[in-house]
Amino acid sequence: MLHLNRNALEHMEKQEKWEGATQERTGDLQDQALAFHRPQPLLLAAIRPPAPAQGVFYREDGKPFLRLWLKRACDVELSVGREKYIFMEVERDVWELTLDLEPGYYDASLIVDGVEVLSPWFPIGYGGGHPKNFLEIGPAEDFLERKDVPRGKLCHEYFWSEVTGREETCLVYLPPAAQRMQEPLPVLYLQHGYGENETCWVWQGRICTILENLLAKGRAKPMIIVMADGTLAGGEKSGFRHQLYPDFLKKDLLPFVERNYPVRTDREGRAVAGLSMGSMQAAMVAFSCPELFAWIGLFSGFLRNYIGVEEADESHLRKALQNPEEFANQNRLLFRSIGKQDVFFRFFLEEDQLCSDYGFPCVRRIYEGGHDWNVWRRSACDFLQLLFWEEK
């Protein structure tokens, strides 16, 4: 049994005052890497001094603010995109920052005394090649809210890759009641962007929540979603080689999924999509292997490959460019989307012209936003609603 000393009791009173003066929107909470709810401070006053409530909070006017307890810190900053914000020390070791941000997702880096640190009090994801913080500013849009709807299952798999010569990993999402369904389910292979990994579509993209909300409204078909780590290396050359993805999918990932999960194996029952770098991987495999996929999604994405080449590579498009009419007849969906403020918007417009010149029919979406998860979440929501319907 822990005995609370006077300092602990005083802290509890102060904590109640803090929490009473602020209003946290619990309805905006989401599951995240390492914790399926917001972290909870435990009062262990007999072991160490108690800390104040930390994380993202909202003032009475709805404006978000951050609070952190950082003992002996001298300088605390938050980097959000290209902007830097300075925390103020409102009490000894207690730092706060009021943010004038619209609701949505924000990449964020916490910098304490000149060193970037990972805070357990903000959501944790993966980006830039390492675990990182991000911010969710509420209220969440309706399609992103975690509601009282049937839930699916998420499996983390490891398997050996002959293409890369090492163990690879993927996440497999099964929709609600998947095990009770009599027929194999259609499958979407969904890829992340540069510097990310297979977890990003779950923690930052909220793909499970998006699909579950759509299924509950009858606006999407039940499907299995496979998210693999596309940061591939190996083969004859060492180092990062995202161009290995088509071989990796055909020889390793697709056979592994089809051996272990009840998925359809016909092209009409398979879709491939991705964001940014993942869109290049999706395009490379979909256009070079049209017998595998009938549905394609390119979010903030590209028909051509721009990574690791001096000029845009469209060699994987050769078959479709030689016979665009056949491609148009076989392909059920080519979905292309981007944000108006995306730094790669020029490339999107160039590929608009390519689609027009060759008569590639596509569903085209342009959203408010940049090269970020706010756009990719909306892209996924719209794309999922178009998949696997029987009518062409």
**CB proximity list for 163: less than 8 A, separation 6 or greater:** 232, 234, 235, 244, 247, 248, 251, 252
Domain 144-384 carries which CATH code?
3.40.50.1820
User: pTM of whole model > 0.85?
Assistant: yes
Do 144-384 and 27-41+50-140 have the same topology in CATH?
no
Query: Spelled out in words, what is the top-level CATH class assigned to the domain 27-41+50-140?
Result: mainly beta
Q: Helices (DSSP H) in the chain: which residue ranges?
A: 6-21, 200-203, 207-216, 245-248, 254-260, 277-288, 318-322, 324-330, 345-358, 373-384
pLDDT of residue 178: 83
pLDDT of residue 392: 53
Residue 245, burial from CB neighbour count under 10 angstroms (0-12, 13-18, 19+): buried
pLDDT of residue 2: 39
DSSP helix, strand, coil percent of the chain (3-state; round to 5):
30, 30, 40
**CB proximity list for 294: less than 8 A, separation 6 or greater:** 267, 268, 270, 271, 330, 331, 332, 333
Cβ(301)–Cβ(336) under 8 Å?
yes
Four-point Cα dihedral 48, 49, 52, 54, nearest 10 = -30
Instruction: Give me 233's structure tokens.
Output: 């290396």
* C-alpha to C-alpha distance for 304 and 274, rounded to whole angstroms: 13
Identify the three-state secondary structure at position 297. Answer: strand
* C-alpha to C-alpha distance for 314 and 17, rounded to whole angstroms: 61
* C-alpha to C-alpha distance for 193 and 324, rounded to whole angstroms: 28
The residues spanned by each domain of the chain are: 27-41+50-140, 144-384
Rg (CA), the chain: 23
pLDDT of residue 378: 98
Strand partners, 225: 173, 188
Q: How far is CA 103 from CA 136, 139, 162, in A?
A: 7, 6, 44
pLDDT of residue 248: 96
Instruction: List, run by run, the mean pLDDT of 10-residue segments along the chain (392 residues).
Output: 45 49 46 61 56 89 94 96 94 95 95 96 93 94 94 96 94 90 94 95 97 97 96 67 92 98 96 97 95 97 88 89 90 97 96 93 96 98 96 57
pLDDT of residue 75: 97
pLDDT of residue 31: 62
Instruction: Give me 327's structure tokens.
Output: 């491609």
Strand partners, 172: 155, 226
What phi-psi label fits residue 11: left (phi over 0), alpha (psi between -120 and 50 degrees) or beta? Answer: alpha
Classify residue 143 by its DSSP letter.
G
pLDDT of residue 233: 81
Strand partners, 227: 171
Q: How far is CA 164 from CA 114, 169, 197, in A?
A: 38, 12, 16
Identify the three-state secondary structure at position 126. Answer: strand
Sign of CA dihedral 187, 190, 300, 366: positive
pLDDT of residue 243: 87
